[in-house]
Amino acid sequence: MIEQIKKHIQEVLAYQTQDTAEIEAFRIKYLGKKGILNDLFAQFKNVPNDQKKEFGQVINELKNAANQKVNDLKETLQNEQDTALTMDLTRPGEPFPMGSRHPINIVKNRIISIFERIGFTLSEGPEIEDDWHNFTALNLPQHHPARDMQDTFFIEKNPDWVLRTHTSSVQIRHLENNRPPLRFLSPGRVYRNEAISSRSHMMFHQIEGLYIDKDVSFADLRQTLSYFTQELFGKSEIRLRPSFFPFTEPSAEVDVYWGLETEADYRMTKGTGWLEIMGCGMVDPNVLKNVNIDPEEFSGYAFGMGIERIALLLYQIGDIRLYTENDIRFLKQFKAELF
């Protein structure tokens, strides 16, 4: 009999529930008028005298354990209900930390967003390109000296195919399959066989823009670039210096006035206050002819920039090699942005 009571004590101590009805059923089972404890107390008179003391002790132990278990279960359940009643269910949950994006992706998306606001769309093309789209159609025929401006990766088994040296090849493909008016951006990776310094890279990112329509002028180009620099850098003062690109005429390098407010400004601008950010120009008539667009009826402007350079300026990154080292301490500084 005593062993049976001890088993009841173990069951009581191990019992768990969060249901009110189950707690009440448990109480009735052990502490009710027809419960286990009343039945045991009724059997007390039949216990031999030499066992009454031990029998009484284990019954009391079972009674105390059952009472304590019922009280503990009710208290736990009440605390949970009180917490639920006092909790502000309209409060937002704990925020999940947003991941990081690569600074090049962030800057690319910002540039695209700025130009999308004035009607530019996107166009993409292959990274392995044929000679026509990468060179010839862009006013760089065979043996043209301007080809030496770009150190090219040629496909060994077929020298007429190359890793594209600029995203201008995407523009040619788009012009071949679409008619003006056209206004689009061509972002993507480009490849140059350069070994200038330990900081140079064979692959980098470009984004180029092209606008073709009737009566497009150099003044339209300047106004577009002024808008862009104001939106991206918060600075609209620009200057255009004469330059040369085979596919534009006239051609220019674009500088933005950065200022000389800090020591970093002096270092970045070499004390001039001006920073070069891109190249641009009016589309050469020969390029339009190569894609069967009449240069007498249509004109256009083009511009292009390296995204790595723009990101270096915006984030004051001191070493371009940080882009490719995948150092988590560097990358986690650039939180995801929505545009």
Around Cβ 169, how many Cβ atoms within 10 Å? 26
- Is 297 marked as binding a ligand? no
- Give the strands of the sheet with 203-213, arranged side by side: 121-122, 182-191, 203-213, 299-306, 274-283, 248-257, 238-245
Q: Look at residue 35 and give its three-state secondary structure.
A: coil
What does 132-198 look like in DSSP terms, one character per residue?
HHHTGGGT--TT-GGGGGS---B-TT-TTEEE-SSTHHHHHHHHHH--SSEEEEEEEEEE----SST
How does 251-269 read in b/e, with b if 16+ C-beta sit within 10 Å? Answer: bbbbbbbbeeeeeeeeebb
| β-strands 161-163, 128-130 pairing | antiparallel
Distances (CA, A) of 338 to 58, 65, 120: 69, 60, 19
Determine the Cα–Cα distance for residues 120 and 109; give it in Å rounded to an integer: 13
| Tokens representing residue 33 in the block | 């008028």
Q: Look at residue 86 and give its three-state secondary structure.
A: helix
Contact 300, 282 (CB under 8 A): yes
Nearest to 118 by CA among 214, 256, 230: 230
Residues with Cβ within 8 Å of 189's Cβ and at least 6 positions away in sequence, in order, are 127, 203, 204, 205, 206
| β-strands 182-191, 121-122 pairing | parallel
Which residue numbers belong to the known binding site?
249
Which residue numbers belong to the known binding site for Mg(2+)?
249
